[in-house]
């Protein structure tokens, strides 16, 4: 098992399919801040609220030299429908193999209708220009998460 990712530590490079049609590689964004927010499922109420809020604040994130990326275990096909439906202006990463989820330790046991299932715990992470983890927000509420992350970045 890889060492636990901690604040101040370099985030390992990873490569996963992106909704822009190409594979996304973290190292390609060196020199920019990266906001990775993890959400359980495309087109569900909480995930829609969270994604819409990030989309609404996108220009403010850009002013802070920050790229916003959503991550879930959904397929690219599912991501495309989600993006088309809500007109998101940022890419969604498809982590069907849970590569990125494991790096950030966001797969948690949840209780769904009395059954224990493994799913993504809603979270957000801020990576600095040198690809070090500088912020983590775990077990967040969908509503207000984007603003909380933006406020954090403004203080960096």
What tokens appear for 80 in the block?
């495309």
Q: Cα-Cα-Cα-Cα dihedral of 131, 134, 140, 142, to 10°?
A: -50
Catalytic residue among 16, 34, 47, 58: 47
47 is catalytic: yes
d(C-alpha 44, C-alpha 154), whole Å: 29
Enumerate the active-site residues: 47
């Amino acid at each position: 098992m890889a060492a636990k990712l901690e604040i101040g530590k370099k985030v390992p490079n990873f490569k996963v399919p992106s909704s822009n049609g190409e594979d996304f590689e973290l190292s390609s964004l060196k020199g920019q801040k990266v906001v990775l927010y993890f959400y359980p499922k495309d087109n569900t109420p909480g995930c829609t609220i969270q994604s819409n809020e990030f989309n609404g604040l996108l220009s403010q994130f850009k002013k802070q030299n920050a790229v916003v990326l959503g991550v879930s275990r959904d397929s690219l096909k599912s991501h495309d429908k989600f993006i088309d439906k809500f007109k998101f202006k940022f890419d969604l990463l498809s982590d069907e193999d849970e590569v990125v989820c494991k790096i950030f330790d966001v797969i948690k046991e949840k209780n769904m209708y009395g059954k224990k299932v493994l799913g993504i715990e809603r979270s957000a992470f801020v990576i600095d220009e040198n690809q070090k983890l500088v912020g983590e927000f775990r077990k967040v509420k969908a509503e207000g998460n984007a603003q909380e992350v933006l406020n954090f970045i403004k203080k960096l």
